[in-house]
Amino acid sequence: MQTIYCIGELLIDFVAENQGSDLSKADVFTKKPGGAPANVACAVAKLGGKSKFVGCVGEDPFGTYLLDTLEKNRVNVTLAQRSKHFTTLAYVSIASNGERDFVFSRGADKKLEYDAVVKNGFKGNVVHFGSATALLGGGLNDAYDRYLVDALAQEALISFDPNFRGDLWKGEEGTFIEKCRHFVEKAHLCKFSLEEAQLLSGENDVEKACAVLHGIGSPIIAITLGKKGTLLSTPDFKRRVASVKVEPIDTTGAGDAFIGCLLYQIARLKNPHQILDDTDQLVPMVEKANWAGAITTTNYGAIPALPEYDAIF
Ligand code: ATP
């Protein structure tokens, strides 16, 4: 089993209890661990895989809570950093007009310092870049760019999920697209939502979007389509892999469960790069990953809802 390095943010989501009112009216919040790359690390570890989280939290009780949560889920956090800056916090509510009302207090996640030791573990392993906040700048962005160079030099299998958040990039979408395209160019595998595939390719039609994205670089593309399943695209074939019928109650983290489960299976290969030579193996892997995504929607929250090995295999 190879190791999956998950690089990016770990933060607290304070979710308003009285959904349907905007944040100015919300008075009770529930503290939840957040951050897509950290969710992916948990998804891998809950399936029994080896994941290491690379990111930064504050030297405060929230930072302790977040790292404890990862450790309880069997994620290796020895490469995580603590900063004197407070842990990054996001306050979220669904307002009366159905839009997400969102306040983001960015702290320690952007203080991640590049550590040359990290790259020593990359060889023969998988490196996953999940970028909701990473591309916004700060030390995390610098570290992110340098780890990409390292991952290429160490011949790691590189995975990328843009994790686009419209509220974070309002008015700056062009910068987001430019930064993401650099990762799409270098990655071996990319996971997109339909919105991300359209945004990064400039094409509304999903087939045309795939062609543009392959043209930029990534040979393996998975576009997750919620209950409509996943469009898997490689240079050899394009296939829609059906989703599993469930009664969803909370879709948070379904995409992270999906990519975590897919990477877990790739990391079980003797050499993760084998997946590039025999892409047919991807179809049953994506079927399993769809299961992981579907199961995650049947429970509340991201990390608690991620499935264990026996639920999938
Ligand atoms: P998020 O950003 O919320 O983590 P996403 O947009 O990246 O999600 P989705 O497409 O919502 O990802 O979900 C990932 C996968 O999970 C889908 O490809 C599908 O297999 C499964 N899934 C998600 N929603 C449902 C659903 N309602 N019913 C069945 N399967 C689902």
Find out whether the beta carbon of 199 lies less than 6 Å from any atom of ligand 1: no
Who wins on pLDDT, 135 or 2?
2
In the predicted structure, residue 65 carries a pLDDT above the cut 90 = yes
pLDDT band at 300 (very low <50, low <70, confident <90, very high): confident
Cα of 225 vs centre of ligand 1, distance in Å, is 6
Nearest CA to ligand 1 atom 26: 227
Q: Which atom of ligand 1 is nearest to the CA of 245?
A: 29
CB-CB contact of 291 with 30 (8 Å): no
Cα of 295 vs centre of ligand 1, distance in Å, is 10
Q: Give the closest residue to 161 by CA, choosing from 191, 195, 181.
A: 191
Separation in Å, CA 134 to CA 78, 168, 247: 20, 11, 33
pLDDT band at 251 (very low <50, low <70, confident <90, very high): confident
In the predicted structure, residue 98 carries a pLDDT above the cut 80 = no
Nearest CA to ligand 1 atom 11: 226
Rounded mean pLDDT of 90-112? 86
Q: Cα–Cα distance between 164 and 246 in angstroms, integer?
A: 25
Collapse the DSSP code of 167 into the 3-class scheme (helix H, G, I; strand E, B; otherwise coil) and give the result. helix
Give the count of alpha carbons within 13 A of 118, CB side only: 30
Residue 245 CB partners (closer than 8 Å, separation 6+): 294
In CATH terms, is domain 3-312 a member of 3.40.1190.20?
yes
pLDDT digits (tens, 9 = 90+) for 183-211: 999 999 999 999 999 999 999 999 999 99
Find out whether the beta carbon of 229 lies less than 6 Å from any atom of ligand 1: yes
Packing angle of the helix pair 206-216, 194-201 (nearest 10 deg) = 60
Nearest CA to ligand 1 atom 3: 252
Q: Give the closest residue to 141 by CA, choosing from 8, 4, 41.
A: 8
Q: Cα–Cα distance between 222 and 214 in angstroms, integer?
A: 11
Find out whether the beta carbon of 294 lies less than 6 Å from any atom of ligand 1: yes
Q: Give the closest residue to 131 by CA, choosing from 276, 297, 2, 259.
A: 259
Find out whether the beta carbon of 226 lies less than 6 Å from any atom of ligand 1: yes
Q: Give the closest residue to 290 by CA, choosing from 253, 250, 241, 248.
A: 241
**What is the pLDDT, as a whole number, of residue 220?**
98
pLDDT digits (tens, 9 = 90+) for 2-60: 999 999 999 999 989 877 778 888 889 999 999 999 999 999 999 999 999 999 999 99
Cα of 242 vs centre of ligand 1, distance in Å, is 11
Q: Cα–Cα distance between 58 and 109 in angstroms, integer?
A: 8
Find out whether the beta carbon of 82 lies less than 6 Å from any atom of ligand 1: no
CB-CB contact of 64 with 88 (8 Å): no
| Token code pair at residue 250 | 């909370």
| Token code pair at residue 119 | 């790259």
Find out whether the beta carbon of 240 lies less than 6 Å from any atom of ligand 1: no
Give the count of alpha carbons within 13 A of 67, CB side only: 20
In angstroms, how far is CA 236 from the centroid of its own chain?
Answer: 25
3: enclosing H helix or E strand: strand 3-7
Q: Round the average pLDDT of the chain to a whole number and report it.
A: 94
Find out whether the beta carbon of 269 lies less than 6 Å from any atom of ligand 1: no
Q: Which of 32, 168, 224 to mutate to test ligand 1, by most ligand atoms within 8 A of the CB atom?
A: 224
Nearest CA to ligand 1 atom 9: 226
Find out whether the beta carbon of 246 lies less than 6 Å from any atom of ligand 1: yes
Cα of 231 vs centre of ligand 1, distance in Å, is 12
Q: What residue segments make up the domains of the chain, in order of their start?
A: 3-312
Find out whether the beta carbon of 244 lies less than 6 Å from any atom of ligand 1: yes
Find out whether the beta carbon of 39 lies less than 6 Å from any atom of ligand 1: no
**What is the pLDDT, as a whole number, of residue 102?**
85
Find out whether the beta carbon of 253 lies less than 6 Å from any atom of ligand 1: yes
